[in-house]
A and B are shown apart, each in its own frame.
Chain A
Amino acid sequence: MAEADELTVGETATKSGFLGLSDVSISEDIPVEGEITVPMASHSQDEDYSTLDEPVRETIIRDLKAVGKKFVHVMYPKKSNALLRDWDLWGPLVLCVSLALMLQGGSADSKEDGGPQFAEVFVIIWFGAVVITLNSKLLGGTISFFQSLCVLGYCVLPLTVAMLVCRLVLLASMGPINFLIRLIVVIAMFAWSTLASTAFLADSQPPNRKALAVYPIFLFYFVISWMILTFTPH
């Protein structure tokens, strides 16, 4: 349509010596047609705004990818916004449940004091994380509640890996070498967890209170490491 208009204007301009647009008239011979639509980038754009119609598998895979990306960020802690800005609690839940299940083997049949029950592990991890978050907020930290829970939960990943390794090592015969291997693995993973979570959380504290906010995190992962190290199957 625009091209037809321009041709008509150009022709009349050259014919009448460009006397102005008042002489422009669209003759009835040339049909004016076209489309009045806003050009769109892709046809599927308005489908992205509502994820209600997508197949369930896509939804689950998208969430799994987000969780997996955060796992990678925990194992190689660099300053990134993925853990902080796009927090989610799926990863911590999966880690907590798997850790609590793996700590179960020894105490199910013993009537006396055994290892921690499933509920005890669950409560320690979640209640501990909430208390540490409240502590850092009360000390004047700028991180939000769920972001802190997310970071603390995801940083349990190295300790879950340590638990897995310990269970595999315990399939072999018991002895001091067995214990030494488990000790080294648990200490290394404990240090990794603490350093990873400190890398994410320490910057949000006022500078003269950093140690006050980091110490409870240290205590939290120390208790979890102790539970992993003292696990004895029967």
Chain B
Amino acid sequence: MAAVDDLKFEEFGDSANLLPASQDDIAVTIEEPSLNPPAPRGLPRGLRREEDEELLGNSDSDKTELLAAQKRSSPFWTFEYYQTFFDVDTCQVFDRIKGSVLPVPGRNFVRLYIRSNPDLYGPFWICATLVFAIAISGNLSNFFIHLGDKTFHYVPEFRKVSIAATAIYAYAWLVPLGLWGFLLWRNGKVMSIVSYSFLEIVCVYGYSLFIYIPTAILWIIPQKAVRWILVMVALGLSGSVLVMTFWPAVRDDNRRIAIATMVTIILLHTLLSVGCLAYFFDAPELDYPSTITPAPTHQYTTRVVSAGH
């Protein structure tokens, strides 16, 4: 019956065929968005290793990179441009500090915590706190070491604050600059999967210095063994954060250059901590000076006696 035929659904076929193919009409076809996310720029999917997928936080790396590109849209002479570098909440800063103190093996600090939102708040204020922590702790430690000494006159040693500030801010800003330039140069020669922007490197270095704040306060204890154990622990924790961050970036390079880079990073970090310990904190070796002095005269008399024979 015609009514039943009318009610039956008609198949129309492809919509493009129904439109009259006249030159005046413009056929617009809208395609469904593709369900597979496209591979990150410049890299076919097959070449990525599994650990890098985990490290890169695959699912939203594209989204966060797009967001980052949108955020920096103001020109650099406006105030809003610099506000994008302070776009962090209190809980985010705490998470980043926690991630720098307790490194999870295999997880990359930058990808896990920073995620294309590097901030300048953490590096700047952690360095400022570290400067004053080292200067004040050094002063206090010297005071306690020389406490019983009548000839010691206490001075606040304010010069050391400016020296500490120069050293720490130079380390936290010039070393990332050098490292970033070096990585950029190597990326020109060897295509690497992971590359960091300058601000991300500054961020990693800044947050990795956080462990030295409680270390500096504990260095007040005037025992050499305690101080060196603290140096080892702090170096281990912050060094491992740096190594786990930068190893994926240099791993594809020539083996020797990769290892040399890692060794240089760790060496500079060690130099900073040991240098601060040596310069700002007097050595606590005043436990036994009174027992040393009688011995030379005793030796002298025995030698004279033996020479006389």
Residue numbers of A with Cβ under 8 A of B are 106-107, 110, 112-117, 120, 135, 137-140, 208-212, 215-216, 219, 222-223, 226-227, 230-232, 234
Contact = CB atoms under 8 A, between A and B. Distances in A.
Contacts of A113: 155-160
A195 B159 CA distance: 30
B55 to A, nearest CB: 28
A198 to B, nearest CB: 15
Interface stretch (B124-132, B171-179, B202-210, B285-293): B124-132
Contact of A226 (B90, B125, B136): B136
B155 A209 contact: no
Contacts of A114: 155-156, 158
A190 to B, nearest CB: 14
B90 A116 contact: no
Nearest to B91: A208
B129 A219 contact: yes
Contact of A139 (B79, B86, B128): B86
Contacts of B160: 113
B155 A232 contact: yes
The 9 closest A-B pairs by CB, nearest first: A113-B157, A230-B156, A138-B86, A116-B158, A208-B89, A211-B90, A113-B159, A115-B156, A139-B86
B139 interface: yes
B154 interface: yes
B88 interface: yes
Given A113-B160, A211-B90, A212-B121, A232 B154 contact: yes
Nearest to B85: A138
Interface centre among A110, A112, A113, A140 (most CB of B within 10 A): A113
Contacts of B86: 135, 138-140
A139 B121 contact: yes
B253 to A, nearest CB: 37
B83 interface: yes
A232 to B, nearest CB: 6
B237 interface: no
Contact of A212 (B90, B157, B158, B159): B90
Interface string B55-92: 00000000000000000000000010011011011110
Contacts of A138: 82-83, 85-86, 121
B155 A212 contact: no
B156 A219 contact: no
Contacts of B114: none
B156 A232 contact: yes
Nearest to B139: A230
B132 A115 contact: no
A221 to B, nearest CB: 12
Contact of A140 (B83, B91, B159): B83
Contacts of A231: 156
Nearest to B82: A138
A230 B129 CA distance: 19
A222 B135 CA distance: 13
A224 to B, nearest CB: 11
Interface string B83-116: 1011011110100000000000000000000000
Given A140-B83, A230-B139, A116 B156 contact: yes
Given A114-B155, A219-B129, A232-B154, 12 more contacts: A106-B155, A115-B155, A115-B156, A116-B158, A135-B121, A135-B125, A209-B88, A211-B90, A216-B125, A222-B132, A227-B156, A227-B158
A215 B122 CA distance: 12
A230 B86 CA distance: 34
Contacts of A117: 158
Contacts of A116: 156, 158
B139 to A, nearest CB: 7
A21 B185 CA distance: 101
A103 B240 CA distance: 44
Nearest to B120: A138
Interface string B153-189: 1111111100000000000000000000000000000
